[in-house]
Amino acid sequence: VAVATRGDPPPAPRAAGIPVATTTVVKTDLSDTVTLPGTLGFGTARPLRGAGTGLVTRLPKTGATTVRGRPLYWADDRPVAVFYGDTPLFRRLGALGARGRDVAVVADNLRALGYAPGSAPVRSRSSAPQGTPAPPGEVFTASLRAALKQWQRDNGLQPTGVLDVGQAVVFPGPMRVDAVKAQLGDPVAGEILSVTRTAQVVTVPVETASAGTIRRGAKVRIVLPDGRTAGGTVTAVARTAQDAADSSGQSQTRLDVTVTPAKRIKGLDAAPVEVRFTSAVRRGVLAVPVGALLALREGGYALQTPGGTLLAARTGMFVRGMVEVGGPGIAAGLKVVTSS
């Protein structure tokens, strides 16, 4: 950026043969983009601990996906099945009349698997004393016991109509086996494995000072190790900051930003990646290299034509060596003097 005064006499004509460095005003799109390192994976892993007694006799493979009603691992050669729901099985179920959210989890999964445990009871005020809420969950009925027996029979289990703690694990939805922790012959009442969600995500640690510019729902570009790029969306911005060391060993406070790829990235389960965040976009604006700006002593900026005329210029976004400009006489295709 050079300095000039509006009203200064035009520059003396240049000697013949001495070229003037010029550039052209262009109409283009400008975007303010920040690229940050991240890690492609499946999000934070959560441990799964077994329950009950016995020894681990069979384990899944890393990367396997859970399926409702199918075994996840085996204890004493008996399969431990997967159910989906929001309440773990915390007690022995089999007594008629037992009510609770855990009963509802069993009934809902049997229905989803095609069995007939009976319809869910209608919760009404008449089912509880006046002034008290009805107990949550469902009732363990004879039809539910019959459906449970049939499911047990179909899966090679003793058809007892009883489901004990440790005979099924409950997840909020389909999960992916992230790592197998136990070994064959270990007691089942310990950490068996860890799981993650099945959807790929990119975790990006962002300095707290910069995290405020990143919004949930923002579109980003993910740069893969081989140079390919993929679209993605910011799906979460952590609300709890953590201290982390940067490349120089200095401690910085950061927040994790979660980005979900628009499509599954094939061939990669985990990898270092880069994520391009765009905080502002200006479309169809006039722009020149920053070196074409003349700073006026009285304030503001101008562009200088090869003939020496100064044109007052409003400036907008500065990004990657370009600056948005506008003003009377400034149009796409105009040639102006530049220092670079």
In this prediction, residue 99 carries a pLDDT of: 96
In this prediction, residue 125 carries a pLDDT of: 40
Instruction: Read off the pLDDT band of 216 (50, 70, 90).
Output: very high
Residue 27 and residue 142 in one domain: no
pTM score: 0.71
Alpha-carbon span 198 to 84, nearest angstrom? 14
Residue 76 and residue 188 in one domain: yes
Residue 207 and residue 187 in one domain: no
Radius of gyration of the chain (CA): 33
Model confidence at 127: pLDDT above 70: no
In this prediction, residue 134 carries a pLDDT of: 57
Is the Cα torsion angle 74, 80, 86, 87 positive or negative in sign?
A: negative
Mean pLDDT of 233-258: 80
Model confidence at 155: pLDDT above 70: yes
Model confidence at 70: pLDDT above 90: yes
CATH number at 213 reads 2.40.30.170
In this prediction, residue 2 carries a pLDDT of: 59
Alpha-carbon span 170 to 86, nearest angstrom? 7
In this prediction, residue 124 carries a pLDDT of: 40
In this prediction, residue 246 carries a pLDDT of: 60
Strands (E), 113-250: 138-139, 168-171, 175-180, 191-197, 201-207, 219-223, 229-237, 242-245
Model confidence at 221: pLDDT above 80: yes
Give how many domains the chain has, as a whole number.
4
Model confidence at 161: pLDDT above 60: yes
Residue 187 and residue 204 in one domain: no
Model confidence at 113: pLDDT above 80: yes
Model confidence at 252: pLDDT above 80: no
- What is the average pLDDT value for the chain, to the nearest integer? 89
Residue 82 and residue 174 in one domain: yes
CATH number at 124 reads 1.10.101
Looking only at the bridges linking them, the beta strands covering 56-58 and 71-75 are: antiparallel
Instruction: Read off the pLDDT band of 249 (50, 70, 90).
Output: low
Mean pLDDT of 38-43: 96
Question: What percentage of the chain has pLDDT greater than the value 70?
Answer: 87
Model confidence at 236: pLDDT above 90: yes
In this prediction, residue 35 carries a pLDDT of: 92
Joined together, the tokens standing for residue 308 give 């020496």
Domain coverage including residue 83: 44-90+170-198
CATH number at 291 reads 2.40.420
Model confidence at 13: pLDDT above 50: no
Mean pLDDT of 92-107: 96
Alpha-carbon span 148 to 104, nearest angstrom? 13
